[in-house]
Structure 1
């Protein structure tokens, strides 16, 4: 069924909220059709003309309201709910920026910060970063969202720039991540032990670029890391890394 075009965003709207309303209407319109199934995220993205990350954020918003449930390879399953009563327009309905919106901002800011840090890195800074990675390697039993070594690594690079505004911006992005209920919901399906080696390896690559005092290499290494996080969060279902039996005990985050 062809959907109506997405409305132009107003300054106080988030795109995933607009898309979530579209999906809720789609579910309501097909409520009486027993043969109807929710399209896949890829199909929804193509049909609505938005990116898959936006679809994922919209689905998370609906999942948090008990309208759908994401069941790994089974896809998006519609749950019994009174969809017509769901509103994303109420003052208290904003559950914050979407996870991929935050990652996009981190990509823009932290990659540039890494390039600047490469020009200003001291031997002491590099030793601090190395210790942060060692701490990440020791934190195997820590929920990834709560890893101190990871946060310290990124904040050390921010401080290496010597720019207080950059430090404040990156601190704000990490604080928003930690406070986001959407982050927690999105990460429930990621098996921590499957992604930890990849992300620790990314941090080693960033440190190596900083040791070379090479701004371009540092920029690319940081950008590659954040893109790896984005890709992992997007493709976890397709790679079979959903682990509901361990989600409550391991969690994840980045």
Structure 2
């Protein structure tokens, strides 16, 4: 399976992280069912253990983000539990048929599908914003970062400064369609049960400095009125988010 990759720090991010649609089903849903059948098939083997996400991705020939979404879907249904250093633990209940129509369970786009859309749209929006930035806009962005730095006790998904920062850049484009698209993506993120579950595995104290630093880099590019630099800075930030969502548990498992 050919897969393009981009190096981001010490980690590798796959470019094909987006779930695909098959007959109305998302790929992570199909993968979740396959993993559930794997668990059921090995239920009688006391020596069997759940493969890691990397091993599952290789065995099932899908990307890591798709496997992560599948594991989160199984965790939400009480079939597995991700336990940091211990990895993916199978819970006592037998999986049976997985129902993706259960009330209160996320059936919309997966987190990485939303991030792929953000990567495409917000990076381009930042480039356009760099061409149209005013001194007032830059001051507003700096105020958003200052608020992010004060929100140390706020749950990651409830940070107002972060959302205001990205929406300010959207508004800097002066393009109503871009603004509505970015607002819709953030609204879907806020309403996604899978997003909330996935963020339970993030160590906020360790990622906040990185993400705030990313925001400073974006503002620096906008100050220079440099579209290409703004595009790259926004792209780098969203890829850092993707990377952290993929690697958070694994770092915990293998940390000394």
Calculate the TM-score normalised by the size of structure 2.
0.87
Task: Give 1:45 deviation, angstroms.
Answer: 0.3
Partner SS, residue 250 of structure 2? coil
Distance 1:117 1:241 in 2: 40
Task: Give 1:87 deviation, angstroms.
Answer: 2.8
Change (3 A) 1:9 1:79: same
1:57 counterpart = 2:69: yes
Aligned residues of 2:106 and 2:192 also touching (Cα < 8 A):
no
Residue correspondence of structure 1 range 1-254 to structure 2 within 5 A: 9-88=21-100, 90=101, 95-240=107-252
Distance 1:32 1:169 in 2: 49
Task: Give 1:83 deviation, angstroms.
Answer: 1.4
Task: Give 1:241 deviation, angstroms.
Answer: 8.5
Distance 1:75 1:91 in 2: 26
Task: Give 1:240 deviation, angstroms.
Answer: 2.2
Aligned residues of 1:190 and 1:241 also touching (Cα < 8 A):
no
Change (3 A) 1:193 1:94: closer
Which shifted more, 10-19 or 150-159? 10-19
Task: Give structure 2 stretches of 5+ with no counterpart.
Answer: 1-19
Task: Give 1:91 deviation, angstroms.
Answer: 7.6
Aligned residues of 1:190 and 1:233 also touching (Cα < 8 A):
yes
Task: Count the aligned residue pairs.
Answer: 234
Aligned residues of 2:106 and 2:193 also touching (Cα < 8 A):
no
Partner SS, residue 239 of structure 1? helix
Calculate the TM-score normalised by the size of structure 1.
0.88
Task: Give 1:10 deviation, angstroms.
Answer: 2.7
Residue in 2 that maps onto 1:4: none
Change (3 A) 1:71 1:91: closer
